[in-house]
Amino acid sequence: MNFLRNTIGVLAGLVVAALIITLGIKIDSDWITYREFAPFEHWETLLRSVHKKDSFFIALLFFGGLGVTFGGVVTAMIVKYAKVAYAILIGFIMLFIAMLDIIIYPYHPVFYKISIFLVFFPFSWIGGKITEVIYKRREKQRKQLLAKNKKPQA
């Protein structure tokens, strides 16, 4: 049962991260010049058109960090044990996808190639830690409430 729950958690985290990144790069209408929603079909054309625009890659890094943070939070909320480890797994998978993107399409600037390592792991770890801290506080409050209710009233 935990395997299924963990798999669903990882898939949900990846969907959230991919959705945030996809919506994030659609913010500037100068970047997205095609009408239909087919990001994978037009990705090479998009990278060629923004090859010299550092703002696109900065936005891609920003929304990548935001995406893996929220993806890590979603994953950590769903899985039962090792919340931070599964959140970091989201960062690892997204880093792997980004590395494939860099290998397949050579239109990325050098600062982006270096920065993805500095963005995906730390931000996914932060997403897992956010959830861990929230769960620990909730558990502490629950224990305090139980202890308060068990005290005999005079």
pLDDT digits (tens, 9 = 90+) for 17-69: 999 988 888 776 666 665 555 556 666 676 776 767 778 888 889 999 999 99
Gap between the Cα atoms of 71 and 82, Å rounded: 15
Query: According to the model, what pLDDT value does residue 154 have?
Result: 55
Helices and strands of the chain, counted as H and E runs: 5, 0
pTM of the model: 0.83
Amino acid at 89: L
pLDDT of residue 32: 61
Token digits for 143? Answer: 């224990």
For residues 27 and 20, give the distance between their C-alpha atoms in angstroms, rounded to a whole number: 11
